[in-house]
Structure 1
Amino acid sequence: MDILMVGGVLLLLMLTLLSGGVWIAMTLAICGWVGQAFFTSTQPGLNLFSAFWESNASWELAALPLFIWMGEILFRTKLSEEMFEGLAPWLGRVPGRLMHTTILGCGIFGSVSGSSAATCATIAKVALPELKKRGYDEKMALGSLATAGTLGILIPPSITMVVYAVAADASIIRVFLAGFLPGFLLMLLFSGYIMWWALRNPKRMPPAEPAIGFIEKLRRSRNLIPCGALIVFICWALVAGWATATECAAYGVVGALALALWSRSLTWRNFGEGLMGAARTSCMIMFILAGAAFLTKTMAFTGIPRELALWVEAMHLSPTALIAALVVVYLVLGTALDGISMIVLTAAVVLPMVQKAGFDLVWFGIFVVLLVEIAEVTPPVGFNLFVLQNMTGKDSNLIAKAAIPFFFCLVVCIALITLFPGIVTWLPDYVMGVAK
């Protein structure tokens, strides 16, 4: 059977199972099993066990449940409420007001976690209840969280960036530095859309809080100090090389517990509830990761990613047309693969093509990361959609629909870095030049 036909069969099976209410992780695993059992000569049972073990037996992945637990502690004590009360006076005159906290929170936390799943889950746990309680539009909050959560893989450090740098034999430091300006640009685009939406839909915004003086703003901002100090400490420990991302996650948990004790809002009840909530969310994410890893093995055995890349190569396209074709290829792959797998399975064919066309490999790395971000919010296998679906109980298609405007912000960001590649390359060139 033609390889692309095999991909169509697996995609149809996936859509059928998801629409039938089958668990997401089970759907991915079933599609992987069918693909290997019927379209390859390998043993699906052996690969199933190895995929589940390899995807979860990771020291780096240990940061995921710890960061989620930190979010649970902030959510179940009064710390997150105090943080929002401290931000509210300063955002009162900005269109969209506290809606911007989802973007700001994901940007800051993404620089620490390096994972879109951890960023999305942690900020959603803290921000969604507070925004809903204050009367903000839930659809906008879900859409902004689904897409802003992807900042975890664009703003360094990022596991996806490390994998790309190794595959492309590029400098990891240069790739990291290249992610900062596009990350800030994307945050501005997200916040810009929120401001535009708020101005267009004033009736869907909660009533503005009474204006207060500067001194009163400073007084209320003292609520920002505890959580702000914790976030600054975690970022400093990571940037200074004092701790790994996993160790920073552990410090975050200890710090959140200490702050909750200091504020006298930590009880045995909310401690236990937070621990169980973190366990449930972490297990859900890890189960989905395991199913996705098994499906990735199936894609590798069937050769679908390589076939798509070879198909593009055989067309002998101009540089601009090549980039356009690669956008289509990566978006198609993003419906069934995670970002790291997309890079690993296509690097051997795509990178020589890109280099031959005259594109900078560091620039292309950020280009691919942005495409991976789009894949995170693209049905049927948009990972951030699954995370929010399981956390909120909302249908993933509803969340995907809410994320459409922010999806186009990602597209605009890709267009801007393509038209103005200096957005990506200026900072690494400048820093490395100064270092010399």
Structure 2
Amino acid sequence: MPPRAGGPSKGKAPELPPPILPPQGDATSERSDSEPVDVQARLLHLQQSQEDQQLKSQQTDQKIDQIQDLLHQLLARDESRGRSVRRPRQPSEGPPIFPTVERHSEAPTITSQKTSRSARLPDPDKLSDGIDPTFEYWEVEIDSKLQVNADHFETEAARMAYIFSRTQGDARKHLFPRYNNRTLASLKFSTAQAMVDYLAEIYTNPHRTRDAEVEYNDLKMGDGQSFHEFKTQFLHLADEAQVPEQSRFYGLYDRLPDPLQDRLATQLRSFGGRLQDLCEAASDLDAELKRITARRQKKARERKATTPAKPPYVPAFRPTTDPLPNSHRIATPGPTTLLRPTPAPEKRLYSSTPAPPFTCHNCGEPGHILRDCTRPKRAIDIKKVEDLLEEGQDDEGESGKEDA
């Protein structure tokens, strides 16, 4: 028989044409001439079958990869939304979860290797207003995603599309005018890094380091604050303010309350400037002091609970001789003392000028008064009296104005 051409080493072998029976009788001489032609046709047929089989195998592998990527995306999306995904249990000897297709090895003359992709990282939360999540956290997750899963984003367009898909709300509004296809080429984003840098200009605080430095300088451990809470806040502000490592040892010590500083002062030299040793000693000391304080307060409460309370003070009753109750008493104003800016003038006890003689209002003669007048009483003119009263009031008003 003529030698066979190379066939597949694994899997199903391609269908071969039916074998040629040995010639019989007088046909031997006729078929011996056409035998080289038949062998060449078989070789061509085998080679064509191998190429077709290899092409089908590659297409099948690509479809399987696409299905697996789609399943990973669905699982990651459900997990990010907080859903519980029930996965089918896989027995120890059962088939795998993902569909598999029997893959045939290729011909020995043609070799190919299937490259495995990196494990897919979960997608970061979508950036909206730069608050939850903050832009700094979102940027770190995006960079990690594009670096670890770089084989999932083989082109720059794929990376740009992924960044745009991880935005929403205000962040997407900022990107859209320079990302859509209708934008001028001079304004359109050309790289994924340009999109991230554009958002950084909007959502990052240019004075963040200075603000953290001010808070770091004002930081002080409170009396009721635990050392663990203070240490967390101290390290965060120190990192934000970019405080050097060699300055943090005494920076933390100077911000401790006086009771801790008094007990740690003798141990500073033994720490050798190591911040971790200082933190451990301060944490242990703070915990012990808080236990002692709590124990003392508990004993004080117990003593207070067992000590009998003193009876309230009740003033003794004193009867009053006043026949009227307080409600019927009439409040009389006491003497009022007027304060003068200048001392009052001295009162004269006598006058050097003689008093004017008495004049009777009935007869108009001096020497006696109305009740001693012997003449008949005359009628009183009411109109005249009213005029006199009005004149007197006018005189008093004018004199008051002059005094003022």
Same fold (TM over 0.5): no
Which protein has the larger Cα radius of gyration, Structure 1 or Structure 2? 2
Question: Please, what TM-score do these two structures have when normalized by structure 2?
Answer: 0.22
The one of the two structures with greater contact order (alpha-carbon pairs below 8 A, sep at least 6) is: 1
Question: Please, what TM-score do these two structures have when normalized by structure 1?
Answer: 0.21
